[in-house]
């Protein structure tokens, strides 16, 4: 009978129904597994959300920092272009004024040259006519002298009288020379009347000789005057050509410089407009990024709060389920024994072989599970189960089930702790790696900025040094020009004073001689030496006056040239000094930014070193393990499932034994 009952138990152990208590425990375990699975899924979603928040926040931070730097750069560029435009506008006004002055000077010089040329042409024609007339007159007188005619015959012939009349009326002959010729003519007439009895040859020789000498002297003076006029005209032409060429070159260079400056002004205006547009777009993007970052922080904080609340709720639910399982296991043993296992108390001897079979099946199952999962804990549990089955004085199934339940709770606790550790490791690893990447990217960007600012500052300093060299050279050029101008001014003051003194002396001498000869008729009627002296003095006065005028004109031209050079040097120096000022300011700003960025990079480097040290320790805790978290989860799930199955085997055996005992009692 016992053998048949054991066979029946062995054949029906897998198909037996579970008790309500076992069903509740199974449902609680399933619910715990479901909640743990939902927690794992929620953790994955939150990790992805957290990573998104960090990445987005980091990117927005970079964009905001870059936007601020671009706004500062564009603002500085606009200020620089405004200053450049002001400098170029001032230069354009200076160049336009200078070109207008040069064009006016060129026009005035051309008009003066035209008047001088017309005056020279008239003077040249007049002098040529006079020279021709004097030559013909000299020829007539000399011809008559050779013919031996008397003065009366000459007068009757009318040739000499007509020649002398022409000479007297010629504007080129001075009043003194005209008086001399008239006196000679009158004397010759008087002598001819008084000395009618004298020899004709002697009288004519005396009169004609004086006339010829006077005519020849006038002829030479006219030729010298014509030569001087032509020489003056040649010098005037050369001076005009040099002045015109100089003014033309200055106008040409000024127009080229003006055109270049206008192009630079247009380019500066275009650069300013471009920078202004870029500044508007960049400022708008910066405002948008700042607002987005603020909204992102709020959303991420809300997501973190929601996840924390959900995690807390799941933990509380798991704790409640574990408490319920514990309470059920601890408080329903007696009731379950009375309701479902009273057969073990009344007929243990009749089902001892069936208990042995259940012991064997449960212990073997757990032992196989321990071997399959390579779990020392399960192997120890199998040993304790076997020992409980052998030594228990009460219900062997209750003892074994208690062991299995305790093991299941232990595995669930370990699984929950491991899940918490996994969440911690995943979160800390992700945050640390993100912070590490963020710091490395920041250091790389700061290093790039430092290199760029250092190179730009060095370039600006080189440009400032070059500008300072140019300013020094410009100052030397101006100093040399001032020195030369001072020397020219000193020489002009000395020479012009001497020339003016000489002109005044000649004028005073002429006044004395003219007054003297005008009052003393006896001396005026002498041999004409006084008139000759006066004529020579007049020539000297003209030469001195002309020299003084040329000297003053040269001084005025030198002053004008020096003023133009000084003005051009002042404008160029002002532009270069302004460039030095702005470039020095920009270079100092870059050096300050470089120092600040170096300090920021050192701070970030210290933070990165700390992060690397923490990351190293974190990897030792979370990564350097032989078994992965997924492997541990799979292993524990398999162990828990196996233990639940072993528990169901034991529960099925107990129910089967109760049902069989009841049938046997009824049959008895």
Per-residue pLDDT tens over the stretch 167-222: 444 444 454 555 555 555 555 444 444 444 444 444 444 445 577 788 888 888 88
The phi, psi pair for 340, rounded to 5°, reads -120, -15
Which pLDDT band, with edges at 50, 70 and 90, does 345 fall under?
A: very low
What gap in Å lies between CA 383 and CA 338, rounded to an integer? 28
Q: Give the per-residue pLDDT at 329.
A: 65
Pick left, alpha or beta for residue 200 (phi over 0 → left; psi -120 to 50 → alpha; otherwise beta): alpha
Q: Give the per-residue pLDDT at 4.
A: 39
Which pLDDT band, with edges at 50, 70 and 90, does 2 fall under?
A: very low
Q: Which residue has the higher pLDDT, 159 or 274?
A: 274
Per-residue pLDDT tens over the stretch 134-143: 888 888 877 7
Residue 160: pLDDT over 80? no
Neighbours of 57 (CB within 10 A): 17
Q: Give the per-residue pLDDT at 596.
A: 92
Q: Which residue has the higher pLDDT, 407 or 654?
A: 407
Which pLDDT band, with edges at 50, 70 and 90, does 6 fall under?
A: very low
User: Mean of the pLDDT values across residues 59-67?
Assistant: 86
Residue 602: pLDDT over 90? yes
Q: Which of 233-247, 394-408, 562-576 has the lowest mean pLDDT?
A: 394-408
What gap in Å lies between CA 238 and CA 230, rounded to an integer? 12
Q: Is 198 helix (H, G, I), strand (E, B) or coil?
A: coil
User: Mean of the pLDDT values across residues 65-81?
Assistant: 89
Q: What residue has token string 């904080």? A: 301
Residue 424: pLDDT over 80? no
Which pLDDT band, with edges at 50, 70 and 90, does 651 fall under?
A: low
Determine the Cα angle at 495 with ends 493 and 497, to 5°. 65
Nearest-10 crossing angle of helices 159-169, 200-331:
30
Query: Which tokens is 41 given?
Result: 């899924």
Distances from the Cα of 531 to the Cαs of 447, 511, 518, in angstroms? Answer: 99, 13, 11
Which pLDDT band, with edges at 50, 70 and 90, does 537 fall under?
A: confident
User: Mean of the pLDDT values across residues 248-261?
Assistant: 90
Residue 391: pLDDT over 70? no
Residue 361: pLDDT over 70? no
What rounded mean pLDDT belongs to the chain? 75
DSSP 357-423: HHHHHHHHHHHHHHHHHT-HHHHHHHHHHHHHHHH-SS-HHHHHHHHHHHHHHHHHHHHHHHHHHHH
Q: Which domains does the chain have, with CATH numbers?
A: 66-283 (no CATH), 463-623 (1.10.287)
Q: Give the per-residue pLDDT at 154.
A: 44
Tell me the residue length of the chain: 668
Q: Give the per-residue pLDDT at 279.
A: 87
What gap in Å lies between CA 314 and CA 306, rounded to an integer? 12
Q: Give the per-residue pLDDT at 533.
A: 72
Q: Which of 2-16, 39-53, 592-606 has the lowest mean pLDDT?
A: 2-16
Residue 551: pLDDT over 50? yes
Residue 465: pLDDT over 90? yes
Q: Give the per-residue pLDDT at 502.
A: 84
Q: Give the per-residue pLDDT at 346.
A: 35
Global pTM exceeds 0.85: no
* Percent of the chain predicted with pLDDT > 70: 68
Query: Which tokens is 601 given?
Result: 């990079």
Q: Give the per-residue pLDDT at 317.
A: 75
Give the up-direction half-sphere exposure of residue 20: CA atoms within 13 A in the CB hemisphere: 6
Residue 335: pLDDT over 90? no
Instruction: Give the residue from 330, 336, 319 showing the smallest Cα distance to 23.
Output: 336
3-state helix/strand/coil string of 78-116: HHHHHHHHHHHHHHHHHHHHHHHHHHHHHHHHHHHHHHH
Distances from the Cα of 484 to the Cαs of 56, 556, 563, 570, in angstroms? Answer: 72, 14, 13, 18
Per-residue pLDDT tens over the stretch 309-321: 888 887 877 787 7
């Amino acid at each position: 009978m016992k053998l048949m009952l054991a066979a029946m138990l062995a054949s029906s152990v897998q198909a037996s129904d579970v008790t309500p208590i076992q069903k509740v425990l199974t449902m609680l375990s399933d619910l715990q597994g479901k909640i743990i699975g939902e927690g794992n899924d929620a953790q994955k979603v939150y990790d992805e959300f957290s990573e998104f928040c960090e990445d987005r926040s980091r990117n927005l931070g970079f964009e905001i920092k870059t936007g601020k730097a671009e706004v500062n750069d564009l603002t500085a560029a606009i200020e620089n272009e405004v200053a450049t435009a002001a400098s170029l506008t001032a230069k354009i006004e200076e160049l336009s004024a200078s070109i207008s002055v040069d064009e006016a000077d060129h026009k005035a010089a051309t008009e003066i040259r035209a008047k001088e040329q017309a005056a020279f042409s008239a003077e040249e024609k007049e002098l040529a006519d006079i020279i021709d007339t004097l030559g013909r007159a000299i020829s007539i007188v000399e011809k008559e002298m050779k013919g031996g005619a008397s003065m009366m015959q000459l007068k009757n012939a009318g040739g000499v009288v007509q020649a002398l009349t022409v000479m007297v009326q010629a504007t080129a002959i001075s009043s003194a020379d005209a008086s001399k010729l008239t006196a000679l003519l009158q004397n010759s007439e008087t002598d001819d009347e008084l000395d009618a009895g004298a020899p004709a040859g002697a009288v004519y020789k005396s009169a004609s000789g004086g006339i010829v000498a006077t005519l020849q002297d006038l002829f030479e003076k006219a030729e010298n005057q014509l030569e001087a006029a032509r020489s003056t005209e040649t010098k005037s032409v050369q001076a005009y050509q040099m002045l015109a060429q100089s003014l033309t070159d200055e106008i040409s260079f000024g127009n080229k410089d003006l055109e270049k400056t206008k192009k630079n002004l247009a380019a500066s205006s275009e650069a300013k407009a471009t920078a202004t547009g870029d500044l508007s777009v960049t400022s708008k993007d910066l405002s948008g990024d700042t607002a987005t970052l603020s909204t992102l922080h709020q959303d991420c904080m809300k997501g973190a709060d929601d996840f924390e609340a959900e995690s807390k709720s799941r933990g509380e639910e798991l704790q409640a389920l574990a408490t319920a399982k514990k309470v059920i296991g601890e408080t329903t043993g007696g009731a379950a024994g009375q309701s479902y296992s009273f057969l073990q108390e009344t007929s243990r001897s009749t089902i001892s072989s069936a208990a042995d079979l259940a012991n064997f099946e449960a212990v073997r199952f757990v032992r196989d599970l321990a071997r399959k999962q390579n779990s020392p804990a399960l192997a120890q549990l199998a040993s304790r189960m076997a020992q409980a089955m052998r030594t228990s004085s009460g219900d062997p199934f209750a003892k074994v089930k208690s062991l299995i339940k305790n093991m299941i709770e232990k595995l669930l606790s370990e699984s929950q702790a491991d899940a918490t550790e996994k969440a911690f490791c995943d979160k800390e690893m992700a945050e640390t790696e993100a912070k590490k990447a963020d710091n490395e990217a920041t250091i790389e960007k700061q290093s790039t900025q430092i290199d760029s600012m250092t190179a730009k500052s060095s370039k600006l300093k080189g440009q400032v040094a070059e500008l300072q060299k140019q300013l020094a050279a410009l100052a030397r050029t101006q100093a040399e020009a001032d020195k030369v101008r001072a020397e020219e001014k000193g020489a002009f003051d000395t020479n012009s004073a001497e020339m003016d003194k000489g002109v005044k002396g000649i004028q005073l001498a002429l006044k004395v001689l003219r007054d003297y000869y005008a009052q003393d008729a006896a001396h005026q009627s002498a041999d004409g030496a006084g008139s000759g002296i006066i004529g020579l003095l007049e020539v000297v006065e003209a030469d001195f006056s002309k020299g003084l005028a040329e000297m003053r004109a040269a001084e005025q031209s030198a002053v004008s040239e020096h003023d133009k050079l000084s003005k051009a040097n002042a404008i160029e120096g002002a532009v270069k000094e302004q460039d030095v000022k702005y470039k020095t300011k920009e270079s100092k700003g870059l050096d300050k930014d470089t120092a600040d960025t170096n300090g920021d990079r050192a701070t970030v480097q210290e933070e990165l070193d700390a992060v690397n040290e923490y990351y190293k320790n974190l990897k030792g805790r979370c990564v350097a393990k032989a078994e992965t978290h997924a492997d541990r989860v799979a292993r524990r799930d398999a162990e828990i499932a196996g233990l639940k199955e072993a528990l169901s085997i034991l529960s099925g055996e107990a129910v089967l034994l109760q049902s069989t005992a009841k049938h046997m009692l009824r049959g008895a």
